[in-house]
């Protein structure tokens, strides 16, 4: 059995775009992905509001770089860490060039963490470029945010190339559609998980 950590924000948590609810478990993309790969256990770590490495006010720590080491240590040994972050960076108007450094830091944390397990070299990494925004549906989502979202996808791919990690562009199968301009409809979230089944199986040599 392979173990995968899905590290993300509200898109990974399964936020409904119509209010503050959460999608049913089977519609959250990590669970939909796991349903098609029986050899894999998926640990979902989706935190609403999480950024790559930048302060954002909230009810808990939102910086991904500060929380990731504890999760790596808690769930080790992991075979794969999937990272889909950057949406809250963009929404908070963090320049995409800064998200580049935030994503690099996350990869370096995964690769350099002192796991303390004999014979364990650490997990592989899959960077996922988040789905795009839809302007005008939610307060603060304007054309500038939409454009920054496009730039973010290029940044994620650049980091994946630089660090030789696996890469997947979620926008090829998922978009925020007409809800709040940020989050995925249940069927779209499920479709994202299903689309990730083959890439994840390939990375894990299944």
Report domain extents, the chain.
2-203
Q: What is the assigned CATH class of domain 2-203?
A: alpha beta
Largest CA distance in the chain: 52
What value does the mean pLDDT take over residues 144-172? 95
Q: How far apart are CA 45 and CA 131, in angstroms?
A: 18
Q: Collapsing DSSP states into helix, strand and coil, what is residue 42?
A: strand
Q: Collapsing DSSP states into helix, strand and coil, what is residue 135?
A: coil
pLDDT at 144: 86
Q: Which two tokens stand for residue 17?
A: 């775009």
pLDDT at 192: 97
Q: Which two tokens stand for residue 196?
A: 């990730």
Q: How far is CA 194 from the centre of its chain?
A: 15
What value does the mean pLDDT take over residues 6-18? 96
pLDDT at 97: 93
pLDDT at 159: 98
Q: For the sheet with 40-46, list strands across it.
A: 40-46, 2-8, 80-84, 124-129, 166-169
- For the CA atoms of 104, 92, 60, 187, the dihedral, rounded to the nearest 10 degrees, stands at -90
Per-residue pLDDT at 141 exceeds 90: no
Contact call for residues 115 and 70 (beta carbons, < 8 A): no
């Amino acid at each position: 059995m392979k173990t995968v950590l899905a590290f993300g924000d509200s898109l990974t948590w399964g936020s409904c775009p119509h209010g503050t609810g959460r999608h049913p478990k089977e519609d959250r993309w990590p669970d939909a992905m796991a349903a098609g790969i029986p050899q894999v256990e998926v640990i979902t770590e989706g935190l609403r509001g999480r950024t790559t490495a930048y302060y954002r006010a909230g009810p808990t720590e939102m910086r991904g770089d500060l929380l990731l080491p504890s999760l790596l240590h808690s769930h080790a040994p992991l075979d794969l860490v999937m990272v889909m972050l950057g949406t809250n960076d963009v929404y908070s108007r963090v320049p995409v060039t800064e998200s580049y450094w935030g994503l690099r830091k996350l990869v370096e944390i995964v690769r350099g963490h002192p796991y303390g397990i004999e014979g364990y070299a650490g997990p592989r990494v899959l960077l996922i470029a988040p789905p795009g925004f839809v302007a005008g549906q939610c307060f603060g989502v304007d054309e500038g945010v939409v454009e920054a979202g496009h730039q973010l996808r290029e940044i994620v791919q650049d980091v994946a190339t630089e660090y030789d990690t696996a890469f997947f562009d979620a926008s090829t199968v998922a978009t925020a559609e007409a809800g709040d301009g940020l989050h995925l409809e249940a069927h779209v979230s499920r479709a994202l998980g299903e689309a990730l089944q083959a890439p994840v199986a390939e990375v894990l040599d299944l």
